[in-house]
Structure 1
């Protein structure tokens, strides 16, 4: 960040203006009738080596999730940013068996819970 300083006195006649594109960081008194203003230029947040990588990382995560649940597309009941819920029928064989090491079996996914759930208004999931 580039810092910029400007001094203001009580007997100053020219108008005080902020430098364009800068942010005021601090005002420091310098004596009884002077103040020093410290400005920084945050620069362009979209400049640099990796300026806009977040959307691509999110898209990659969506792709991995969609490929993993492709086999169960008829059983998907809810997909959210960080997980999904599959529906099983009690009279059919289970989609997954849940061993003690479910995290290593599912590889890229973290197994959180199995049981009965009710999805209310899309955003509220109640597990029983």
Structure 2
């Protein structure tokens, strides 16, 4: 009733209590924007790790081929090495792009230690596809 309205009014004046819907929407939009930015940076940081994993899977598949089949596609080991070198060049480029993002994401729980602990930080396959398309 009247007492509740009065308490709501006092709470709003003091800045406590439930935020208005527009403030909540604005905060949610900011959080979503920060989350998206962190995901982009995370994908850039994880690019080489992801690509190396893919190349290793192909190397393992090649190693399982019978010798006769390996001889038919004997160019593949050199191609795998070239892919690893390309991954490094691309990673260096991507690292340059995100080098100055630390101020934006300084205390991000998603990216803390991302440069050294990739087992906890993974980019999605979709993110990796987006990066590959961007690099082309």
Same fold, TM-score > 0.5, yes or no: no
Higher radius of gyration, 1 or 2: 1
Structure with the largest fraction of strand: 1
Which structure carries more relative contact order (alpha carbon 8 Å, separation 6+)?
2
TM-score (norm 1): 0.29
TM-score (norm 2): 0.28
